Amino acid sequence: MGQTLTEKILDDHLVEGELTPGEEIGIEIDQVLTQDTTGTMVWLQFEAMGLDEVQTEIAAQYCDHQTYQFDFKNTDDHRFLRSAAGTYGAYFSRPGNGICHNVHRENFAAPGKTMLGSDSHTPTPGGLGELAIGAGGIDVTVAMGGAPYYIEMPEVHSVRLEGELPEWATAKDVILELLRRLSVKGGVGKVLEYTGPGVETLSAPERMTITNMGTELGATSSIFPTDERTREYLEKVDREEEFVELQPDDDAEYADEIVVDLSDLEPLIAEPSMPDNVVPVREVAGQDVDQVMVGSCTNGAFADILPAAKMLEGREVNMTTEMIVAPGSKQASEMLARQGWVAEMMAAGVNFSEATCGACIGIGHVPASDSVSLRTFNRNFEGRSGIEDDNVYLCSPEVATAAAIKGEIVDPRDLADELGDLEDPGFELPEEYTGSKTDLITPDEAPDDELVKGPNIGDVPIKDALEADIDGPAILKMGDNITTDHIIPATQDILMYRSNIDKLSEFTLSRVDDTFADRAAAADGGWLVAGENYGQGSSREHAAMCPMYLGIEGVLAQSFARIHRANLFNFGLVPLLIDEDTYEQIEQGDDIAVVDDVHEGVASGKEEFTIRVNDDWEATATLDASERERAMLAAGGKLAWTKQQAEGGSGAAPADD
């Protein structure tokens, strides 16, 4: 039987297991990526594991999420990260050089490689045929130490693209259409592999908008085959020699297929406050818009900003709307500046931002109260923009710019009719990517060879081994689709404590219930209870680490998002699945005891545990876990397990060896 492209790359990197969906496989990782807000923990864990040198072909540390450095704590984090990259042998991308996914694709992403990154949008280079997966920091640490990455073999689904995008429809509309059809849970447990004749109509940056936002579907990864369009991009970034032609076999078998006819697409928009609330732009036209932002790792590339610049040539941003452009990389800023587009946009009324994540997580450009913001980003979870009850819409740069011109949401096709001289700017790649490399420090030229830790850099918390009994209150009951932005928000006031778990944990779940952290710390253990897709969104392991630090012992949920589920195992919290009836019956404050010996059950492979609620009724809760996950959980988490293994004689090597 023929292989899918995903299977080919996995086969090439397989060190353990078989490529059967649902089975655990171990794969070799070629590249790792980490960023400032997850990276400090990655390197502290690298140090705690006694590892002394990066083992992957490429490891790159980016400083991108909080580059304004409002507080010495962020600057200290960046200083620590530079020292860690130098000490252990990683590339270091200085604050302001750009968003990790953008800088990585410009400099390192290559067809056929595998990558693990401590950021959920790591799959972006899937648009260049790289199989890239987002993970919690400690998984990245271990992979960087040279050990395989273990993952449940995903199902490979084909997204067959047919036809060609009509005027004013863009790559963003392709992924919004998939979100409309499949929802934020639709990709869980799957790799989405793009196939069909429509593929060749999309350039590599357009493909990367799609693979980037596959994360919002919950997909493990998204990938395109490689072809002349891939070669074209690699040539333009001066890495043509890294081109490899990669296609699935003609008789490859996919678990399922979804067909998208590109020629049927029209400008789409995700309404507040979930990326899958997608409707045609025309349905919400006429809505006043206070703020427009073009940028982020989804639509912040040079070729994404160029259409906005062209649309604004000789025009002005509406008086009642503020427009901000935040390029995804300094290279994009530099090229736009050298070609005169920055001046053109400024003259039209645009404010320019540093190449940073910033506003995407509520750092800078926070919308006004009771206002509407249109963004070309990938997430619009409630409150993420930095203000509660926000109204953030997600759309393409073309739709965003049309709104900036008109001052209200408008389908760009209608605006073109109205203005008479507005043309679809199309999607154009530069002749070559010419930005300077000054801000990317190679391991060879690193100025540091020892760690520099400011006062805000704390220790990595380690949990004790799992106990026999778990008996405690349901400290918080939540609904479906709780995001990691609910669990540990990433706004500036909170983000600056990412390296200081003692302080960070005070903010745990504050967006759901601001009494939670105090109540959890006061209780002697307890549970979190949630509906479907608990922990969707980011890869931040702090969303598991902080509840653990506050004494939470387990999470009862109807289902878990992939990365967060792994993070719960990594930090020793027992993730148990419950059915809808049990979820409905449990009330916040109920006392929940596991009847069985939890430690013994976890270690011995037991799947069904009995929970007794208020000493009154019982239900079954399921632990769906591999042997490796069980061993880790029983030990108290990945770090405790790794240390145990090292003490047991396997040396300083990561336990996954």
Binding site for ligand SF4 (CB under 6 A): 65, 99, 119, 121, 296-297, 357, 360-361, 377-379
* H, E, C per residue of 296-308: HHHHCCHHHHHHH
Nearer to ligand MIC, 235 or 354 (CB): 354
Beta carbon of residue 40, minimum distance to ligand MIC (angstroms, whole number): 10
Nearer to ligand MIC, 112 or 123 (CB): 123
Beta carbon of residue 641, minimum distance to ligand SF4 (angstroms, whole number): 29
Tell whether the torsion through CA atoms of 318, 324, 327 and 331 is positive or negative. positive
Tell whether the torsion through CA atoms of 125, 110, 27 and 650 is positive or negative. negative
Beta carbon of residue 132, minimum distance to ligand MIC (angstroms, whole number): 13
Lateral strand order in the sheet of 31-34: 131-134, 114-117, 31-34, 58-62, 91-93, 440-441
Beta carbon of residue 278, minimum distance to ligand MIC (angstroms, whole number): 19
What is the DSSP annotation of 137-195? HHHHHHHHTTPPEEEEPPEEEEEEEES---TT--HHHHHHHHHHHH-TTTTBTEEEEEE
91-93/440-441 β-pairing: antiparallel
527-530/554-557 β-pairing: parallel
User: Which residues make up the interface to ligand MIC (CB under 6 A)?
Assistant: 37-38, 65, 119-121, 361, 379, 490, 537-540
Nearer to ligand MIC, 99 or 574 (CB): 99
Task: State the binding partner of 402 from ligand MIC, ligand SF4, none, CB within 5 to 8 A by kind.
Answer: none
Beta carbon of residue 66, minimum distance to ligand MIC (angstroms, whole number): 9
On the CB side of 194, how many CA atoms lie within 13 Å of its CA?
Answer: 36
Beta carbon of residue 222, minimum distance to ligand MIC (angstroms, whole number): 15
Nearer to ligand MIC, 494 or 556 (CB): 494
Tell whether the torsion through CA atoms of 128, 130, 135 and 137 is positive or negative. negative
Nearer to ligand MIC, 119 or 411 (CB): 119
Task: State the binding partner of 180 from ligand MIC, ligand SF4, none, CB within 5 to 8 A by kind.
Answer: none
Q: Token pair 């997204």 is at which residue?
A: 159
What gap in Å lies between CA 440 and CA 620, rounded to an integer? Answer: 52
Q: Give the containing element (helix H, strand E) for 352.
A: strand 350-352
Nearer to ligand SF4, 230 or 484 (CB): 484
Tell whether the torsion through CA atoms of 602, 603, 607 and 612 is positive or negative. negative
Nearer to ligand MIC, 7 or 77 (CB): 77
- Other beta carbons within 10 Å of 241: 9
Beta carbon of residue 137, minimum distance to ligand SF4 (angstroms, whole number): 14
Task: State the binding partner of 37 from ligand SF4, ligand MIC, none, CB within 5 to 8 A by kind.
Answer: ligand MIC
Nearer to ligand SF4, 45 or 356 (CB): 356
Nearer to ligand SF4, 248 or 537 (CB): 537
Task: State the binding partner of 99 from ligand SF4, ligand MIC, none, CB within 5 to 8 A by kind.
Answer: ligand SF4
What gap in Å lies between CA 310 and CA 312, rounded to an integer? Answer: 5
Beta carbon of residue 70, minimum distance to ligand SF4 (angstroms, whole number): 16
What gap in Å lies between CA 15 and CA 361, rounded to an integer? Answer: 37
What is the number of residues in the chain?
657
Task: State the binding partner of 537 from ligand SF4, ligand MIC, none, CB within 5 to 8 A by kind.
Answer: ligand MIC
Task: State the binding partner of 94 from ligand SF4, ligand MIC, none, CB within 5 to 8 A by kind.
Answer: none
Tell whether the torsion through CA atoms of 95, 99, 104 and 106 is positive or negative. negative
Beta carbon of residue 557, minimum distance to ligand MIC (angstroms, whole number): 19
CA proximity to 254, closest of 154, 153, 156: 156
The single-letter code of the amino acid at 169 is A
Task: State the binding partner of 296 from ligand SF4, ligand MIC, none, CB within 5 to 8 A by kind.
Answer: ligand SF4
Nearer to ligand MIC, 82 or 121 (CB): 121
Q: Give the containing element (helix H, strand E) for 134.
A: strand 131-134
DSSP 391: E
Beta carbon of residue 298, minimum distance to ligand SF4 (angstroms, whole number): 7
Q: Give the containing element (helix H, strand E) for 630.
A: helix 627-635
Task: State the binding partner of 540 from ligand MIC, ligand SF4, none, CB within 5 to 8 A by kind.
Answer: ligand MIC
Nearer to ligand MIC, 265 or 355 (CB): 355
Task: State the binding partner of 38 from ligand MIC, ligand SF4, none, CB within 5 to 8 A by kind.
Answer: ligand MIC
Beta carbon of residue 626, minimum distance to ligand MIC (angstroms, whole number): 23
Q: Which residues contact 8 (CB under 8 A, 6 or more apart)?
A: 246, 248, 249
